[in-house]
Chains A and B, each alone.
Chain A
Amino acid sequence: MELKEILPELKRGDYIHFEDFYNQTNKSLFFTALLIVKDEHLANDLVQDTYVKMFEKISSIDERQNIHYYLVQITRNLALNIYNQRKKEIGDEELLLLKTGTYHLYPHYDECEAILSVLDEEIEREVVTYHVLFEYKFKEIAKLVDKPLGTVLWIYNKAIKKLKERVVR
């Protein structure tokens, strides 16, 4: 069943297809959170919080909109809040590691990590993930990361160039 078909049911409080809805969306949300907070357990908590947040406003969600994108927006905002909170709490050295992503980002996701970790900037990982894995359009990504479309295009092209140079078979 498609997400847009399940959403009206959820609005009515009918949870019969909620597990299906969860299975179609939770991996993207988990990965979105993981890219930012770089902590598997925290990312899992943020996924749960995302669904709760969605239900807090479910009656006002426009059924025509892309619900996957809407959920990713929530997860990203929640993750950024956590990231900014942690930034205040941790030391400079740890922050540097967090920013540059030079420590082991995704302990259980070696393959993805191996590819994405060659990128220098967090925003590059995000743009590549949203476009390649979530298949978002660049204008959707621009809105999500709050940057002009031209900048997003440039970041993507730069990231792909780096991947071409740095990823070896």
Chain B
Amino acid sequence: MKKEEIITKLKSSYEQIETQPFNNDLISRCEDARLNQEVIETNKKFAFPFKLIFPIASTCLIAGIIALSVTLPRIRGEISSSIDNPSTVTLTKAKSVISNEIMLASILTDNNDLGLRSLRLARSEKNQSLGYEETISLIHEYLLTGELLLNKENFVTNIYYNEDENHPYQYLMEVSYTDDLNNLSYQFYYSEYKRYEYDDEDDLDEISIIFEGELIIDNETYQVNGYRENEEDEYQIETNIYYLNERILSIEQETEINENEYTYTYYRNNHEYRKVSQEVKIDNNKKEMSISVEENNKELEFQFEYLTENKIYCEFELEEGDVESEIELMIEERADYYIYKAPGKEDIIIYKD
């Protein structure tokens, strides 16, 4: 029998069930219970020692903190999945990846003030190509976000069983990122479950993990949904972020050992208006990153190669008016600033503050 037929049959037979009719005696039992509960509550109020409120609250708080740090899982790094085990929550590689990608999203969206917004808006209003200085400024922003990808040790991710009833989800992921320039954090309340996909012969074809939840950044709440799949060392994740029921961002990610590919698609009024793709590779301990940005029918591409820890080579095409030229840029990181050097161009210094 087909699933729909069974469900319909079950529902219709349930509808026909006749149960015991209402009996007025129940009212008197309920009223007794209601009145008794009021007496108990009143007694409680009088009996409660108000002087103890502060010490009790403090003790609970301290106990809570100790419980969080000692008994609840506080696991960083790559640990095996435990979705079916109700007693612990562990951080899998996939979860760690999600935490990082959302963090990057929070940095890349227009909803924060990292200087990107004004630059991009100014550009889209003028609908003109970027000049050299503006392009360097843009490269600098993307270089910094790329750095975040590479500095995974700066992420701290903790996952707990959610106990906050205001957020009806299974888990709470708390993520923070700290480096010389950034101090960012967010909370992600979410639930996840397995989705089974069957082939034409009804055999199990694929299992993916569906997640949905609420992301809280700077007291703003965003709705999130998505899925992840993994095969051996390869992960594929898609995350959609909504604000006031309107999608503002989609993130697609494919990650393998030493290789990460991200595509961020930005939406405004339900229309795609910007796409940023970022690929980071580590090959023989050599780091490489490429970034492409599509907006206003224009595409910008940057290639970064990390020559040493503080020296980065960058290649890109510059469009100034009708003239296109290929620029080879050397970026050096110093204690307080970055210096951008290109043949035939003035050096540009960007301070870290």
Q: Please, which residues of chain A bring their CB within 8 A of the CB of B193?
A: 138-139, 149-150, 152-153
Contact: A22 with B84, CB < 8 Å?
no
Q: Please, which residues of chain A bring their CB within 8 A of the CB of B194?
A: 150, 153-154
Chain A 68-83 interface mask (CB, 8 Å, partner B; 1/0): 0000000000000000
- Cβ-based interface call for A47 (8 A): yes
Contact: A55 with B84, CB < 8 Å?
no
The interface size of chain A toward B, counting residues with CB under 8 Å, comes to 50
Contact: A56 with B29, CB < 8 Å?
no
- Cβ-based interface call for B20 (8 A): yes
Contact: A18 with B27, CB < 8 Å?
yes
Identify the interface centre among A10, A109, A128, A149: most chain B CB within 10 Å of its CB. A149
Contact: B30 with A51, CB < 8 Å?
yes
Contact: A19 with B22, CB < 8 Å?
yes
B150-203: which residues lie under 8 A (CB-CB) from chain A?
Answer: 168-170, 191-194, 196
Contact: A31 with B31, CB < 8 Å?
no
Q: Please, which residues of chain A bring their CB within 8 A of the CB of B196?
A: 157
Q: Which one of B9-17, B122-130, B217-225, B299-307 is at the interface?
A: B9-17
Contact: B84 with A31, CB < 8 Å?
no
The minimal Cβ–Cβ distance linking A61 to chain B, given in whole angstroms, is 11
**Given contacts A48-B29, A55-B30, is CB(A115)–CB(B20) below 8 Å?**
no
| Chain A: CB-nearest residue to B171 | A149
Chain A 127-166 interface mask (CB, 8 Å, partner B; 1/0): 0100011000011001000111111111001001001100
The minimal Cβ–Cβ distance linking A125 to chain B, given in whole angstroms, is 11
Q: Please, which residues of chain B bring their CB within 8 A of the CB of A112?
A: 10, 13-14, 17
Report the Cα distance A53→B38, complex, angstroms.
14
The interface size of chain B toward A, counting residues with CB under 8 Å, comes to 40
Contact: A132 with B83, CB < 8 Å?
no
Contact: A59 with B41, CB < 8 Å?
yes
Q: Please, which residues of chain B bring their CB within 8 A of the CB of A95?
A: none
| Chain B: CB-nearest residue to A153 | B193
Q: Please, which residues of chain B bring their CB within 8 A of the CB of A115?
A: 6, 9-10, 13
Q: Please, which residues of chain B bring their CB within 8 A of the CB of A90?
A: none
Report the Cα distance A116→B9, complex, angstroms.
11
| Chain B: CB-nearest residue to A147 | B86
Contact: B191 with A139, CB < 8 Å?
yes
| Partner pick for A148 among B7, B38, B84, CB 8 A cutoff | B84
B53-71: which residues lie under 8 A (CB-CB) from chain A?
Answer: none
- Cβ-based interface call for B3 (8 A): yes
Report the Cα distance A6→B85, complex, angstroms.
40
Q: Please, which residues of chain A bring their CB within 8 A of the CB of B85?
A: 148
| Partner pick for B19 among A30, A53, A55, CB 8 A cutoff | A30
Q: Please, which residues of chain B bring their CB within 8 A of the CB of A1?
A: none
Report the Cα distance A10→B38, complex, angstroms.
13
Q: Please, which residues of chain B bring their CB within 8 A of the CB of A153?
A: 193-194
Contact: B191 with A58, CB < 8 Å?
no
Contact: A52 with B17, CB < 8 Å?
no
The minimal Cβ–Cβ distance linking B224 to chain A, given in whole angstroms, is 15
The minimal Cβ–Cβ distance linking A46 to chain B, given in whole angstroms, is 11
Q: Please, which residues of chain B bring their CB within 8 A of the CB of A57?
A: 37
The minimal Cβ–Cβ distance linking A168 to chain B, given in whole angstroms, is 6
| Chain A: CB-nearest residue to B212 | A139
Report the Cα distance A67→B83, complex, angstroms.
29
Report the Cα distance A47→B34, complex, angstroms.
17
- Cβ-based interface call for B79 (8 A): no
**Given contacts A26-B19, A56-B33, A115-B6, is CB(A15)–CB(B191) below 8 Å?**
no
Report the Cα distance A55→B235, complex, angstroms.
51
- Cβ-based interface call for A167 (8 A): yes
The minimal Cβ–Cβ distance linking B341 to chain A, given in whole angstroms, is 54
| Partner pick for A22 among B22, B37, B192, CB 8 A cutoff | B22
Q: Using A15-B31, A152-B193 as known contacts, list a sample of 11 further A-B pairs with CB atoms less than 8 Å apart, ordered by residue number in A.
A: A18-B26, A48-B26, A51-B30, A55-B29, A58-B34, A133-B11, A150-B192, A160-B3, A164-B2, A167-B1, A167-B9
Q: List 8 A-B contacts (CB under 8 A).
A: A18-B27, A55-B34, A58-B37, A132-B10, A139-B170, A148-B86, A164-B1, A167-B9
- Listed in ascending order, the chain B residues whose CB lies under 8 Å from chain A are 1-3, 6-7, 9-14, 16-17, 19-20, 22, 26-27, 29-31, 33-38, 41, 83-86, 168-170, 191-194, 196
